[in-house]
Amino acid sequence: MELQTSPGRPQSAGGEERQIVVRACDACRKKKIRCEPTATGCAQCTKHRTTCHFTPIATRKKPRRPPGFRYIAQLEQRLSEVEGALKDQKSPGMTTVPESSSRAEQMTPAVFNNNAALITLPGDSNPWISIPESQIPFTQQADSQAFDFGLSFETPGQGEADFSTLAGHVNDHLAGSASSYLAPESYAFSPLATRQPLPARTAALELVNETFVNYNRFLPLFDEEDFLEEFNLKYSTSTPRDPGWWACLNVVLSIAHRLRALRTLDPTRENVLAFGHIQNALGVVSELSISEHSLSAVQALVGMACILQGTPNPAPAAMLVAAALRLAQAMNLHRECPGSPLTMLQLEKRRRVFWKAYILDKDISLRTGRPFSQDDDDMDVLLPSKTGPEPCDVDIFNLRIRLAVIQGLVYKQLYSIRAGRQTETQRALAAHELSLLLSHWKSSTNLDLPVGSSVSSGPPMSGEVIHKVVLRLTYIHCLAMIDRHLDHQSPTPSYQDLDQSGLPLSQASLCLVESRKAIRLIESIPHGDCSCIWMLLHAFFAAARSILANLTQNPTSPEGLADLRLVDPFVRLLGMLARDFYSQSEELGRMHRTCSDLHNDAKKAVENFGLGSPMALTWIY
């Protein structure tokens, strides 16, 4: 056998070693048969008495490509492009884009499917609403074509439908300082790794006491005795390693700074401190939602949602409320568990925390047009006892709970997907029933503000007055949402409100009267508090739109000019909010266009019908 081999291992031109492969002789390779080498040659060549010749073959193996190598190459290319863009952005003459707009748009609210029955008031009355069933007429359900899920009025020339409305806030005596209502630059979320240091122990204790006196007394989220006991034990060693306590502490401090911002003409510093503390709490949201199954975790999530209501973007608050309710459901806060080893005081704490989350859930749902997370059919928790150690003419917390139940019914029966399949007549009947419920709720409350409670008339408002203003505006927003589906040509309800003269008001007149009161309540909003403005924008916008829609449909109204003067500053500041960089959003722009169009239509209607001469309307333009 002739075996040709080369001395040493052959090398390629680049100096790389190549592996010598000798597998078959030339004859077997040519015939493509199996070669069986022996000491004298291969078996086939020996059999056929031919020369057996082996030619060594040098092969060069290519390195094996890793799986997904093309995807990795694409990622590397994209990374290099991003790095190049960042270098160009940091070069002289280039401006950097703030992070607030992109960060705010990335947060989306949680959604929850709602499969409960639409109208169950006659047969299955809600256990949290005390109203005689004889006052509620029965409404039959029937299928119909789907309707456009929108919350806008159907006025001539106005076909735009929207889910969530966001409005501006303004008043004549506040117009000079309107820019203070815009969201400051400090409201942009900064990286959560940069924590705001806690204040000194004495200063922190003052902030804690302020929160419990002016906020927690009316909407109890924390138990004061338990919180102060934990404060004395843990404040000096407070770190994010104890996420429940860390988040609750920063929530309480943030609320206190927000309350202080209500009493100053320049709230910038207080708002910055408040937002710094809420960022501290946001840094442990993942731990609270996943690994912290405790009452303090639910309290912290609900508290953060309360504070983030005062920002232009409602999505973070909705997300936190949904997470809090899911955690509360995992802890059975929505159930009354007979035979529980918990004491009455512990059960009362659990009820208050759950109902606080419930209030936020239904309020955000109706304002944003998104499904709520807690269905009334899947809960049997009792109402909390009367809150507040000091006497108060109204129990604000229980009133908010009862109003939240009605808000949930309004969304379910008028604005849910299933409600969209009902006919207009069926929705009008459902709206009629809901107006009875809301009227009954209104008759059991005392929402009139004391004389001199306005900010412009003297010292800052008390905590009770602030909560009364919020409660009344929440009621007016709910009333406007019901009014959009009422048939105003039908007879007035049997249960009616009375005006100051004692004469009955139709539902349309009632909504208009309450809307005018709501616009005037702008004077009761503290100067410069942008968080309070954003939280109440929906109510002010609903009131302004009710007034403007009435003018377009009834331009001969004797109060036309007065109504235009009433809403004109509001429209101007709404435009200012829409132009502000930190308030810009597609939703706000749509609301600004809707309100501006209604305002222009109302002015033209009043002018065309001769109620306002061109000279009288020059102040509007």
pLDDT in tens, 417-469: 999 999 999 999 999 999 999 999 998 887 766 544 444 444 456 777 888 88
- pLDDT above 90 coverage of the chain, percent: 34
Residue 228 has pLDDT above 60, yes or no: yes
Query: Is the residue at 169 inside a domain?
Result: no
Amino acid at 597: D
Calpha distance 493→495 (Å, rounded): 5
Q: Which residue has the higher pLDDT, 80 or 365?
A: 365
Residue 32, CA distances (Å) to 21, 27, 555 in order: 17, 8, 100
CATH number at residue 52: 4.10.240.10
pLDDT in tens, 286-318: 999 887 789 999 999 999 999 998 888 888 999
For residue 151, the Cα-to-chain-centroid distance in whole angstroms is 17
Can you tell me which residue has the tokens 């309307």? 617
> Helix or strand or coil: residue 38?
strand
Query: Is the residue at 225 inside a domain?
Result: yes
User: 13, 35, 59: which is the final residue of a domain?
Assistant: 59
Query: Is the residue at 321 inside a domain?
Result: no
Report the pLDDT value the prediction gives residue 276, as an integer from 0 to 100.
93
Report the pLDDT value the prediction gives residue 506, as an integer from 0 to 100.
55
Report the pLDDT value the prediction gives residue 533, as an integer from 0 to 100.
76
Select, from the ranges 28-37, 258-267, 389-398, 521-530, the one with the highest average predicted confidence (pLDDT): 28-37
Q: Which residues pair with 498 in a beta bridge?
A: 504
Domain boundaries, position 17: 2-59
Q: How many domains does the chain have?
A: 2
User: 30, 59, 88: which is the final residue of a domain?
Assistant: 59
pLDDT in tens, 529-569: 677 778 888 888 899 999 999 888 888 888 888 888 888 87
The sign one gets for the Cα dihedral 367, 184, 263, 170 is: negative
User: 280, 310, 340: which is the final residue of a domain?
Assistant: 310
pLDDT in tens, 143-164: 333 333 333 333 333 333 333 3
User: CB 389: neighbour CB atoms within 10 A?
Assistant: 7
Query: Is the residue at 409 inside a domain?
Result: no
Can you tell me which residue has the tokens 């949290």? 128
Report the pLDDT value the prediction gives residue 129, as an integer from 0 to 100.
57
pLDDT in tens, 63-121: 777 666 677 788 888 888 888 888 776 655 444 433 433 433 443 333 333 333 333 34
Lowest mean pLDDT among 7-21, 323-337, 343-357, 531-545: 7-21
Report the pLDDT value the prediction gives residue 498, as an integer from 0 to 100.
40
What number is the average pLDDT over the span 338-357? 92
Report the pLDDT value the prediction gives residue 469, as an integer from 0 to 100.
87
Q: Which residue has the higher pLDDT, 34 or 72?
A: 34
Report the pLDDT value the prediction gives residue 527, as an integer from 0 to 100.
54
Query: Is the residue at 606 inside a domain?
Result: no
Query: Is the residue at 239 inside a domain?
Result: yes
> What pTM was estimated for this model as a whole?
0.69
Query: Is the residue at 34 inside a domain?
Result: yes
Report the pLDDT value the prediction gives residue 529, as an integer from 0 to 100.
64
Amino acid at 231: F
Query: Is the residue at 403 inside a domain?
Result: no
